[in-house]
A and B are shown apart, each in its own frame.
Chain A
Amino acid sequence: MTRPSFRTNIRPENHSKFYWMLSDSFVLAQRSIKHITRNLDQLFSVALFPIMFFLLFRYVFGGAIDTGDMSYVNFLVAGIFVQMLAFGANYTTMNLAIDLQRGIVNRFRSLPISRSALLIGHVGADLVRNMISGLIVIGVSFLVGFHPVASVTEWISIFCLAILFSLAISWISAIMGLIVKSIEAAQWTGFIVIFPLTFVSSAFVPTDTMPGPLRFFAENQPLTHVIEAIRSWLVGTPIGDSGWLAFAWCIGIIVIAMPVATWLFKRQTLR
């Protein structure tokens, strides 16, 4: 039996550090994106979760919730949309925790790659996953009687804010994924942090029936601003300060969470 011999004359390519950071991040994002389609459970929840939630609120709770002159569907879409983006970010927590538990992080670390590439890869894949979820939400909403009044510029604003929000919450999720000690705990963080955050907001009900302190929190937390801004662009509700506040919160979170996550990752995987 003749076998090919082992070669020993391969040299790496020469490019700038910045090029390699982008390339490494891209390669690792590609990997995580492949997971979405290869891992049927993930694909299932990414596609089905928003539809389930949508139908649940639209037809089960919707009738009992008073949204004034506006139809509940029109009220609901912005809330569900933002909730799905927030839920989707939990995959960053989970996938990062899984990577850290398994041996693959050690392999990545023994390679001459850019340190934050793995984080950027996960967050990037999250963005793709969230875009799929977001499109499904919008698609389903039209089927159940949603009538948006958004202009082209407003759709563009929604798109931009959705991306920024997705990135912001993914970076926070990355921090959680780096802090938790187990994969189970990673699943819980979604329930403990993101679940209440999405419900104590204006996502599903108008905030004015909530008791004092809860209402204050609900009206001033970032998710509400994001929801209110998107809702305003979609169906023309008054926007107040929510537009610029939503962008400010998202950018602020990214600016803080990104270096924190990178620092945590470096510290965790430090020698």
Chain B
Amino acid sequence: MSRIKDGNYNTKNFNISTDSHYSNENVVSVKGLRKSFKKLTVLDGIDFDIKKGTILALLGPNGAGKTTTIHILSTLLLPDKGIARISGFDVVKEVDKVRSLIGLTGQYAALDEYLTGRENLQMIGRLYRLSHQDIKQRTEELLELFDLVDAADRAVKTYSGGMRRRLDLAVSLIASPPIIFLDEPTSGLDPRSRLIMWDTIKQLAGSGTTILLTTQDMDEADHLASRIVVLDGGKIIAEGTSDELKQQVGSERLEITFMNTSYFEKAKEVIQVEKFHADSKMRTISFVTTGGVHQLRQVLSRLDEANIEVESISFHSPTLDDVFLILTGHSTEQSNREEREKEVFKQ
């Protein structure tokens, strides 16, 4: 047993920046936003800003308040308290101004099933009050950009899920709004469509569009967003760049898998690690390593003394999954964990 691989040690730098509100750079600025539905508090006072041309991801599980935030910002919902401004315009008082600046792509494709892709684009273009010439030109551009030229004259109900999402995004871009809200833009998409969507979103941000997206997927936030706001139960529990969030969690995580459930249960009692996550389905215990190899040796000898058989041990650099796990105490998504981990040795 020697030096553990994947030495992605980050410098301990907890410099999670706090921008001043309402600076010129901030295209979206949210302060003290609260919203309750009857007795259920959905947003419990959140603040964040988005700089021009950047992507901010609202990350959180179902019911964290992501969609509610998007709905308030896109003027569909009134906040109970707090202020939200889009390019300086108040989302409560200056509704029409805000609406002319934003594009919204909701969780469920908001398209007309019986119209063709082209007709959907043209209809929304006209409702955005563009000139007929602009609509025509823009429609063709977007169809090409989103690889929908061949399907342009087919009814949307014949489209695949990926095509719908692409068209949905294309439709919200028809008036080339400077700010786009994307509510879970890739949920339910196959991996290929997801990559295409990611690519498009990146290009969009590259062209100067400011983007707020929500996601339950750590990977997605990691890939796309320059800043991540982690929401849970209507509160912001962490904020920063992907690296900053990872740093909060520590440099590396150790994951131990046990031979059977009784070993697993016993291990939970003897392991003596401050904060660990136990996954009974996978029979794994994972925790942040603070003491490096020394700690590993300690843990292993403790398990050994208790006659607990270990199946495998692995290290991996923290993923946003881990961040979430540590910040909220509950996991969001267990999938893909196996792919990311790097096995050190097997017994």
Task: Say if the beta carbon of B189 comes within 8 Å of chain A.
Answer: no
Contact A38 B155 (CB under 8 A): yes
Bound Cα distance from A9 to B208, whole angstroms: 12
A15 CA to B126 CA in the complex, in Å?
Answer: 13
**B115-126 vs A, Cβ < 8 Å mask (1 yes, 0 no):** 100010001101
Across the interface, do B110 and A7 meet the contact criterion of CB distance under 8 Å? no
Interface contact B104-A6, CB-CB below 8 Å: no
Residues 13-41 (chain A) with a chain B CB within 8 angstroms:
13, 15, 20, 23-24, 27-28, 30-31, 34-35, 38-39
Given A6-B204, A103-B110, verify A111-B124 contact (CB < 8 Å). Answer: yes
Indicate if the CB atoms of A110 and B207 lie closer than 8 Å: no
Query: In whole angstroms, what is the CA distance A25 to B99 when docked?
Result: 18
Contact B108 A102 (CB under 8 A): yes
- A contact residues around B178 at 8 Å (CB): 8
Name the CB-closest residue of A to B134.
A10
Stretch at the interface among B40-48, B72-80, B269-277, B325-333: B72-80
In B154-183, the 8 Å CB interface with A consists of: 155, 171-173, 175-176, 178
Q: Chain A interface mostly helix, strand, loop or mixed?
A: loop
A12 touches B128 (CB 8 A): yes
Q: Which residue of A lies closest to B102 (CB)?
A: A110
Alpha-carbon gap, A16 to B124, bound state (A): 19
B71, chain A: closest CB distance, angstroms: 8
Interchain CA distance A24-B112 in the complex, whole Å: 16
List residues of B whose CB falls within 8 A of some A CB. 71-72, 74-78, 96, 99-100, 102-104, 106-112, 114-115, 119, 123-124, 126-131, 134, 138, 141, 144-145, 155, 171-173, 175-176, 178, 203-204, 207-209
Known interface pairs A10-B175, A102-B110, A107-B172; 4 further A-B residue pairs with C-beta atoms within 8 A, sorted by A's residue number? A6-B173, A8-B208, A110-B103, A113-B127
Q: Could you show 25 A-B contacts with beta carbons less than 8 Å apart?
A: A4-B141, A4-B144, A6-B145, A6-B207, A6-B209, A8-B178, A9-B176, A15-B129, A27-B127, A35-B114, A38-B114, A39-B114, A103-B106, A104-B111, A106-B71, A106-B76, A106-B104, A106-B106, A107-B106, A107-B110, A107-B124, A108-B127, A110-B103, A111-B99, A112-B99
